[in-house]
Amino acid sequence: AQSVAQPEDQVNVAEGNPLTVKCTYSVSGNPYLFWYVQYPNRGLQFLLKYITGDNLVKGSYGFEAEFNKSQTSFHLKKPSALVSDSALYFCAVRFLRNTGFQKLVFGTGTRLLVSP
């Protein structure tokens, strides 16, 4: 079955420090992987995606993610955290139904808290 796991409910980091939000996936075939961010009282916003190619993907707001096929992981990273990065982060994997239509399966989310 296609799934994603975000093992941490919350990640705490001090401003200026590097941050990592973890995601592992299970999917048959080549994975299409995504990160979305949700700020308080807002909808989800697309951050970045991995389709193919370079294992290090760069996205919005200085975020990047590293695809690791052997570990089936797609961790979100940022070299220097900002207080404004505090939000809820969702990892997602796309697969195609038998009908040929896409489905995104989301993880349970990780709350990132960046302290001043």
Considering only 23, 65, 109, 114, the residue that binds other proteins (CB under 8 A) is: 109
Closer of 36 and 81 to other proteins (Cβ) = 36
- Taking the complex as a whole, the smallest distance from the CB of residue 78 to other proteins amounts, in Å, to 20
Pairwise CA distance, residues 104 & 54, whole Å: 22
Other CB atoms within 10 Å distance of the CB of residue 71:
10
* Cα 103 versus chain centre, distance: 16
Pairwise CA distance, residues 3 & 20, whole Å: 20
22 binds other proteins (CB under 8 A): no
The 63-102 contact track toward other proteins, x by CB under 8 A, reads: ---------------------------x-x-x-x--xxxx
32-38/10-14 β-pairing: unpaired
Judged by the rule CB under 8 A, the positions of this chain that interact with other proteins are 32, 34, 36, 41-46, 49, 51, 90, 92, 94, 96, 99-104, 106-109
